[in-house]
A and B are shown apart, each in its own frame.
Chain A
């Protein structure tokens, strides 16, 4: 199949359709409304389900309904809309209901603005829902990857019976670039062993998230966390960009990572040993790989469009193996290649000086 010029949001929508998404439930919010518009145009004519719900609360709970029947369903929203879904996401993890949530981050807090941002890393990863739970979070950096990760999101949502979030930002949602759809590459698991379709010739089933008997909830949570260990073992993904000899390692996710790449290229042209570690899965976070990378590096520079959110996971993974610096802009401010390059140059000069001083002392 040839490459086509496609907008990030529309790429996600078309990929969802290709992945066999039978239902889309959503509520409009900039900068992701194209996803709902695309679904509204295409799903009904395919005999699939499209509903503009009364709210994001309703959207995600409709996804739950579809998910309990083992049907592939998704919703999409942005920042404040995703905030309204937190209770349901917690319930989905508890009741083990699959579903795909696309979060196209805008500037916050509050209503914020409609500019691209990454202020909802905590929202996705640390959750606003109650209790111990984990959403699987995938972070695309290009329109091509948005397609590939949308496919993967639908597959692993069913595979692990857990909500999967595609965490994009306004840059990726709104930008266009050539990409190739290909075909949905996964073979999905059989759902008939657990999905609800009426208690016909089998005992009645239930998919609920209230477990009152003493100890039941603890056992369930422990079992689900065992599952998360499996997820970490099987699904952890990151991109290694010029890391092998990097003294200064950049960490960034989503659209910032590609801007950072431009800066890394330029720094390499100037002879600086700089690389980029880009987590593709934010949960599971590639902490072991990042730790190993940090052990070989002299410094980590974490870049984000927020006040430092993934930074906590980066620090936790690095665990003192090398110093961690942060550079970011919140609430819709963008990082440009120049800005990142200048920061690289500044830190790299410091590193060189320190190395020289140390050598001098020796």
Chain B
């Protein structure tokens, strides 16, 4: 009822959880889909807990608020703890195993553990854990094309500062790398 795909992306401020959701939404618009993005954050600008709920659907999305998500991307341990119960039975959760060593609690969902921070070190620096996770999520779900996100990144680079625009190759590398993680099964169950 929350559309074809509902996902919660969560992390601490500065990890880019909100931005990953924004990329996803823009890519949905590129593909002519209906979408909503709804953020939640604490009072702090950096370091506090942040998350966003994203819906992608072929039809109108009435509620931006998600009861149970098809997927959760948890960029740190606090996010895993907070949102593990929010995954729909049969859904999945991407866990950043670099920053979370918590035991998983459920048997009715799939877990995809990716050492995002460690893997990011292998890429041109700076590399982005949020974008890597997004790449993995898209490759796993196929809800949108990776190419659509790349198109969004390229469009965004035209409107942001030169400093940010210079990071476009890093972003493109990160999303492709994230997709490859799933393709090459570089994950632990």
CB within 8 Å of B: which residues of A? 3-5, 30, 114-115, 171, 174-178, 255, 258-259, 261-262, 265-266, 334-339
Contacts and interface: CB of A to CB of B under 8 A. Distances in A.
B37 A336 contact: no
Contacts of B22: 5, 176
A320 B67 CA distance: 34
A30 B64 CA distance: 20
Nearest to B53: A175
B79 interface: no
B37 A176 contact: yes
Interface string B51-67: 00000000001111111
A177 B63 contact: no
B82 to A, nearest CB: 15
Contact of A4 (B29, B37, B39, B65): B29
B59 to A, nearest CB: 10
Contact of A175 (B2, B34, B38, B62): B38
A334 to B, nearest CB: 6
Most B Cβ at <10 Å: residue of A4, A5, A114, A261: A5
A261 B22 CA distance: 24
A5 B65 contact: no
Given A5-B26, A176-B37, A334-B65, 11 more contacts: A171-B64, A175-B37, A175-B39, A175-B64, A176-B25, A176-B36, A177-B35, A177-B61, A258-B62, A337-B63, A337-B65
A192 B63 CA distance: 45
A181 to B, nearest CB: 14
Can you list the 3 inter-chain pairs with the closest CB atoms, starting with the nearest?
A262-B63, A261-B62, A262-B62
B62 A3 contact: no
A86 B63 CA distance: 32
Interface of B: 1-2, 22, 25-26, 29, 34-40, 43, 61-68
A337 B36 CA distance: 15
Contacts of A4: 29
A31 to B, nearest CB: 10
Contact of B25 (A5, A114, A261, A339): A5
A5 B35 CA distance: 9
A178 B64 contact: no
B63 A174 contact: no
Contacts of B38: 171, 174-176
Most A Cβ at <10 Å: residue of B2, B26, B65: B65
Most B Cβ at <10 Å: residue of A177, A334, A339: A177
A336 B63 contact: yes
Given A262-B1, A337-B2, A177 B64 contact: yes
A176 B27 CA distance: 13
A175 B37 CA distance: 5
Contacts of B29: 3-5, 178
B159 to A, nearest CB: 12
A5 B36 CA distance: 9
Contacts of A171: 38, 64-65
11 contacts: A5-B22, A5-B37, A171-B64, A175-B38, A176-B22, A176-B38, A177-B61, A259-B65, A262-B1, A337-B1, A337-B63
A338 B67 CA distance: 6
B50 to A, nearest CB: 12
B34 A178 contact: yes
Contacts of B36: 175-177
A336 B40 CA distance: 14
A334 B154 CA distance: 36
B65 A178 contact: no
Contacts of A175: 36-39, 64
Most A Cβ at <10 Å: residue of B29, B35, B38, B63: B63
A171 B64 CA distance: 8
Nearest to A115: B40
Contacts of A5: 22, 25-26, 29, 35, 37
A101 to B, nearest CB: 24
A61 B36 CA distance: 36
Contacts of A178: 29, 34-35
A5 B56 CA distance: 13
Contacts of A262: 1-2, 62-63
A339 B40 CA distance: 19
Given A177-B37, A178-B34, A336 B62 contact: no
Contacts of B65: 171, 259, 334-337
Contacts of B64: 171, 175, 177, 255, 258-259
